[in-house]
Structure 1
Amino acid sequence: MSKLSTSTTIFASLQWLFFIFANTLVVPLSVGTAFHLSPAVIAVTLRTSFIFIGIACALQGMYGHRFSLMEGHSGLWWGLILSLCSAAASSGMSYTRVGGALVTGIFFAGVVAVIIGGFNLIPLLQKLFTPMVMSVYLFLLSIELILIFFKGMLQFTSNGSMDLPVSLFSLALVIMTSVISIKGKGMISNFAVLIGIIVGWIFYSFFFGTNQQVSTTGGFTLTLFPWGKPNLEIGIVLTAFITGLLNLTNNISSVKAAEGLYGYSISKKNFRSSFIITGLLSMVSTVFGLVPNCPYASSLGLLESTRILERKPLIIGGLLFAVMGLVGPLVSFFTTLPVTVGNAVLFVAYMQLFGTAVKSMKSQQFNSKTIFRFAMPLLFGVSIMNLSPAVFSSFPMLIQPLISNGLIMGLILSIILEMSVKWEGFEEVGEATR
């Protein structure tokens, strides 16, 4: 990799800052609302999240896997937490009871991650998460993220119909960012995401006005265990613990996919360090009411589109993000970024992740029998993604978050198929499925 110029480093760092911000903002706000926390506590949680995520990105870039991969709030954890809060509302269980059990499960999952990294147990995980499982995971993750950001870039009225002016504006922003990414030359193409966010933000404010700020200019008094104090609500603790183990697939898949992009493998020491950092951060996050972290495989979409692989901009961008969390008025200003604009630009960036998933299948050939090892878990997961969570309301509340999550269920099915079937015996040379 050639050394970046000062100007390129500055713009690339700002691009990472906006990328991290757009991926982080909604998570603490939505979780705080789901737990019915006070506006003051949500504001402090938001600032803590900025500081926490920024430091996490810098730590992984300097001492962990040392790739340009954002360390952010896990989508898997985020979905589970929101699902459990929704289930609690219908079952009568208190939010503090649910939150305290989540804290316990997350903490134990973090301890296991540290043990796995500290005692070099990663090979055991890799036996479960084979290349085929990782490919299924990347496809499911890219589909889930695209669905999330597609819905997020649209605006809906109070009666559920589409707000055409805002939605068409988002579509135009998607087209503009895509054209810049594809047709742009040199630095213009490399900074398509940054350009898309800034231009989209300016024109959205001109046509539709600015969003209301989240006030973060008050005191910065931390509230410990805002979700609830740790408890042993066994069902939720177990569900959280299993989710924590599945979340470790992010550490494996993200790093392995990055190795393919960078063209070299990281050392065992760095691989182990990435697990230890993620585990320790997960344990600490429970104290402050933050969604646990993981390396973002979706960062590969940004790397593919910008082609700037050096980790220095990520480290600088992460540290700037942490500093931003310390300045209340600055956080308040950045919360005026329209959610539809952020989602529209990320929709373009994450399309590259689908390309990474396709590349992971290059060496695979299928016939009429072996296609099941890939198609069954993938299509099963996508099918669940397109079902309403209400469909699973007849199941026990404690397992609803698991079975209603298409990514988790597709991943579990893929692991089961890889462990229980000797697919090599069904391979027919020269008869690959078209």
Structure 2
Amino acid sequence: MTDSTANADFRDPNTTPPLSNAVPLGLQHVLAMFASNVTPSIIVAGAAGFAFGGADMVYLVQMAMLFAGVATLFQTVGIGPVGARLPIMQGTSFAFVSVLTIVAAQLGMGAVMGAIVIAGIFHFALGSVIGRLRYLFPPMITGLVILTIGLYLIPVGIKYAAGGAATFQMEAESFGSLAHWIPALTVIVVALAVKFYTKGILSAAAILVGLIAGYIVAILFGIVNFGGIGKAAWFALPKVFPYGFEVNMAAVIPVVLVAIVSAIETVGDCSATTKGGAGREATDEEIAGATYADGLGSAVAGVFGGLPNTSFSQNAGIVAMTGVMSRHVVTIAALILVACGLIPKIGALIATMPLPVLGGGVIVMFGMVASAGINMLSEVQMSRRNMVIIALSLSVGLGLNLVPTAVQYLPGVLNTLAISGLLPTAIIAIALNLILPEEI
């Protein structure tokens, strides 16, 4: 789809394009976010010690699709004050991955789900005050946070591309072999070729096309196991607290703090959607509604074993590219995801994707997250003050994550916060930005 697809009326969120346009546009939104949506679930499943491709991982992938769709419906259709009623696509948030992997590994999935539900409720409550918190997150802070998320996750992509990690019970002697790197590199090369040498839906789904190409190569190398597909059902409803529900403050506090960052991210995506699609600023009502939908979507997902949701920036880019602001187009995308989430065989098929193939995709995705942060920071005046804030925040935040034993004597909650990577960076940056005087 190109700018010529859009009709001037399509810039009205309440306009319904003809199905001949609406269905392909909705599918385009799904393809653009599909790989990014399911990847966090696979990563957290691995940290929790779930067998790669096993029933628990399949279920998490299934919930990622189902509740991305449900949360998107909260945004596009709305319930009372909930929902921006804009074409905002929701998906599983990468921002929480750094914290949730630590919680899953140390405290278990019951603590993960308890933290997600509580953080979702807190996130929902932020909808009434989000406008007054925006001053805490100027572009320098937001860009730094996004950069930190990308830098924290990049090593995960390299480990996956080389063959996985101990949590996935991969053979140590095969780690780094060509049998792993060739499928991973296939994903990267094909994704780049499709992104820059094609247009429209195909270009928007470049990562997904790359993953399919890498998957085919992995089949040729004999590293794909289809055993789980036959065991999966054709239809299944989600379960209430399938991993239990535990309130552990060592999990709750960091996840709640990340929810604040996620809320600010949604404010940015809401503004980008209206600016790119309709050439106007988002209203206070739209921003509040988007934040309510974010929190409600995450809390509901946690009840059924899903991970937190947030708005997806790449889909805001699609709105800007096509000029189609119709929320009904994204509603179609949401219904596609809900249908996928109710069919476990789809989740089982995704879970057969070998780690090297996934690694090739996430190297690109995580690198793009870091690049987005750098892009935001490029708009910040690099004064000595701002450079000191960036330097100290990154050094301490990522340093403690890389050397967790440096704070091994901190009690549970503080230890989890300190080694999360994201939270120390964000807290130090916000504090210094408020304390240090502006340079004259």
Question: TM-score, with normalisation over the residues of structure 1?
Answer: 0.78
The one of 52, 55, 58 equivalent to 2:70 is 55
Distance 1:320 1:184 in 2: 24
> 1:226 maps to which residue?
242
Distance 2:179 2:405 in 1: 31
Distance 1:7 1:192 in 2: 23
> 2:412 maps to which residue?
397
Secondary structure at 2:5 match in 1: coil
Q: Gaps spanning 5+ residues in structure 1: where?
A: 89-94, 428-434
> 2:429 maps to which residue?
414
Distance 1:25 1:213, change over 3 A: farther
Matched, 1:22 2:38: no
- Residues 136-172 of structure 1: CA deviation (Å, up to 9, x unaligned): 1222233334443343333256226312232133224
Distance 1:140 1:259 in 2: 27
Q: Among the aligned pairs, what percent are the same residue?
A: 20
Matched, 1:111 2:121: yes
> 1:291 maps to which residue?
307
The one of 148, 152, 163 equivalent to 2:156 is 148
Q: Does the Cα contact within 8 Å between 1:35 and 1:227 map onto a contact in 2?
A: no
Distance 1:150 1:16, change over 3 A: farther
Distance 1:392 1:297 in 2: 35
- Give 2:427's aligned amino acid: I
Matched, 1:77 2:96: yes
- Give 2:147's aligned amino acid: F
Q: Which moved more, 1:145-154 or 1:400-409?
A: 145-154
Residue 277 of structure 1: how far off its partner (Å):
0.8
The one of 195, 201, 212 equivalent to 1:181 is 195
Matched, 1:212 2:238: no
Residue 313 of structure 1: how far off its partner (Å):
5.8
> 1:430 maps to which residue?
none
Distance 1:42 1:174 in 2: 24
> 2:13 maps to which residue?
none
> 1:92 maps to which residue?
none
Matched, 1:135 2:148: no
The one of 239, 242, 251 equivalent to 2:266 is 251
Secondary structure at 1:59 match in 2: helix
Residue 11 of structure 1: how far off its partner (Å):
5.6
Distance 2:42 2:387 in 1: 41
> 2:167 maps to which residue?
none
Distance 1:190 1:41, change over 3 A: closer
Secondary structure at 1:399 match in 2: helix
Q: Does the Cα contact within 8 Å between 2:69 and 2:338 map onto a contact in 1?
A: yes
Pairs within 5 Å for 1:290-329: 290-297=306-313, 303=318, 307-308=321-322, 310=324, 314-329=330-345
Matched, 1:367 2:383: yes
- Residues 223-274 of structure 1: CA deviation (Å, up to 9, x unaligned): 422333454x445444443343344333234445556655542221111111
Distance 2:253 2:69 in 1: 30
Matched, 1:3 2:13: no
- Give 1:178's aligned amino acid: L
Residue 402 of structure 1: how far off its partner (Å):
1.2
Aligned-residue CA RMSD (Å):
3.7
> 1:192 maps to which residue?
206
> 2:286 maps to which residue?
270
Distance 1:43 1:111 in 2: 26
Q: Does the Cα contact within 8 Å between 1:41 and 1:223 map onto a contact in 2?
A: no
How many residue pairs match? The answer is 410
Secondary structure at 2:96 match in 1: helix
- Give 1:182's aligned amino acid: F
Q: Does the Cα contact within 8 Å between 1:174 and 1:344 map onto a contact in 2?
A: yes
Q: Which moved more, 1:284-293 or 1:400-409?
A: 284-293
Distance 2:56 2:194 in 1: 40
Matched, 1:203 2:222: no
Distance 1:193 1:34, change over 3 A: closer
Matched, 1:166 2:180: yes
Distance 1:182 1:34, change over 3 A: closer
- Give 2:96's aligned amino acid: W
Distance 1:104 1:421, change over 3 A: same
Question: TM-score, with normalisation over the residues of structure 2?
Answer: 0.77
Distance 1:337 1:112 in 2: 35
Residue 54 of structure 1: how far off its partner (Å):
1.8
Q: Does the Cα contact within 8 Å between 2:211 and 2:357 map onto a contact in 1?
A: yes
Secondary structure at 1:419 match in 2: helix
Residue 324 of structure 1: how far off its partner (Å):
1.4
Distance 1:260 1:208, change over 3 A: farther
